[in-house]
Chains A and B, each alone.
Chain A
Amino acid sequence: MKQHDIVVIGGGPAGLAAAISAKKAGVSDILILERDSTLGGILNQCIHNGFGLHTFKEELTGPEYAARFIKEAQDMEIPYRLGAMVLSITPEKVITYMSKSEGLVQISAKAVILAMGCRERPRGALNIPGFRPAGIYSAGTAQRLMNIDGYSVGKEVVILGSGDIGLIMARRMTLEGAKVKVVAELMPYSGGLKRNIVQCLNDYGIPLLLSHTVVGIDGKDRLTGVTIAQVDANRQPIPGTEIHYDCDTLLLSCGLIPENELTREIGVEMNRVTSGPNVDDKLQTGVPGVFACGNVLHVHDLVDYVSSEAALAGANAAAFVQNEKTAEKTHKVVIKAENGVRYTVPQTIDVENMSDSVTVRFRVADIYQNRSVCVYYDGKKVSSRKKRVLAPGEMEQVVLKKNSFADYPALSEIVICTEEA
């Protein structure tokens, strides 16, 4: 069986940035396995602009952002296989993949970087009653059909869910001549970025109905209409508020789920809130030498953060390969998310062996105004930063410095929470 130093599962933005970073850190025996026919992942179909403001200080489209990383990986001569579907990864880091050209292949790795991304929540997970006619798509599927395969997806459109992909598709379909009648959102706020609400909906006069959901589907062969109703505080439809819309297309933009079938099979501990693996400050899962980054770890809003997170995973995987002896002394501390903070990534931090600073990313549970983000070490408040606004759709972060732990030799718990300012 052929062995590689590092095998990266997935050739999207996370996998590319991780591989490039690992190579820069001095590991040359790297292999990227990508199931699609091109590198770049979901960026290939995200043809709108707004990518790369943090990384390149300019606004790129998705394919342009991907092309920069693809070129860097190719210039560095990092090997990759396309059309290679990984079927399993064992705790011993034996990887089985299948491809048209190679058949069934088993390889082993000293370190594995999980970068499989995420997928959309499908209709079946949404409890939408009614028939199953053609014309109901997840927003990302419609995006691919339109932007890569060149199909016109529909003429009269209703969109359920105001996630960013749904908002982007509302504009995209409008530009291609479709009539987008309404965007309905179950929650009392949108999970999408403000900029997208203004530039994708308001610019084209598309109404956004908050606290509304789809309660009926009409049509047997092709969708002919949907019924939308308002929901109460418990997200239950309110009788008498139903509105009917004639339409031939319903797009679903109702959340993204990290794609972790392979991860679970390795047997690492998973996180119920993120649906990704639990990781330490090195972005290493519970199995030594298995790292995770990007949307497979937790769903991001901005690809720039995916790239920086993945670069960290790549550098740490390289260090793992180069320095196989484990640290003599470790001091793992759990990071707890409380009071309005839904989760943190990483979930633990080794304060003995951490780098000078660690970025902890998190999301809040609701929209808050004038609230502070606070950090506690064993019950003592060590930092508090007032924020004018916090929203579930915008990932937040705190940076923990190594020297801040000097006064806490027996630290057992870090809490990140929100408080009234």
Chain B
Amino acid sequence: MEVKNLTCIGCPMGCFLTVSIEDDRIGVEGNTCPRGADYAKKEVTNPTRIVTSSVRVNGADIARVSVKTASDIPKGKIFDCMKEISAAQMDAPVSIGDVVIENCAGTGVAVIATKNVPCKK
């Protein structure tokens, strides 16, 4: 049996959760509401995060345009995604939602711009 300790992020309480995993059975202790159990189960089976970063933008007044993954990606893929994001660049003008990378690190999730960047004045 595997045991993991987590802090719940559902509310400011921040319950200290103890999750025990045995085959398909996941037991959660320490939560004081159902949200804690749901959070713990997701975190130990399929933790995901939205990754936000920035990429170089050419021909603009600012050096970087902010970007994010269009939806959450597996937590284990964060650094693979960052590798591709670090190598990417865009040309001004950029609009919010413009696609920077179509399928980032094989996750099937796109990386999109989160800032409107006009051309250099």
Contact = CB atoms under 8 A, between A and B. Distances in A.
Contact of B114 (A61, A146, A388): A61
Interface stretch (B8-16, B19-27, B100-108): B8-16
Contacts of A60: 114
A126 interface: no
A302 interface: no
Interface residues of B, number: 32
B14 A47 contact: no
Given A148-B63, A149-B62, A194-B7, A47 B12 contact: no
A59 B50 contact: yes
A10 B114 CA distance: 22
A42 to B, nearest CB: 13
A67 interface: yes
A203 B49 contact: yes
B115 A149 contact: no
Given A63-B115, A67-B116, A175-B78, A150 B54 contact: yes
Contact of B7 (A47, A64, A198): A198
A49 B68 contact: yes
Contacts of B51: 175
A64 B50 contact: no
B64 A198 contact: no
Contact of A389 (B12, B50, B64): B12
A195 B66 CA distance: 21
Interface in B25-68: 32, 49-54, 56, 61-64, 66-68
A199 B39 CA distance: 13
A197 B115 contact: no
A57 B32 CA distance: 25
B56 A150 contact: yes
A61 B116 contact: no
A302 B63 CA distance: 27
B119 interface: no
18 contacts: A47-B67, A49-B68, A61-B68, A63-B116, A64-B96, A67-B116, A146-B64, A148-B62, A149-B62, A175-B51, A176-B86, A194-B8, A194-B12, A197-B14, A198-B9, A389-B12, A391-B12, A393-B12
Interface of A: 37, 44, 47-49, 59-64, 67, 146-150, 172, 175-177, 193-195, 197-199, 202-203, 388-389, 391, 393-394
Interface of B: 6-9, 11-14, 32, 49-54, 56, 61-64, 66-68, 75, 78-79, 82, 86, 96, 114-116
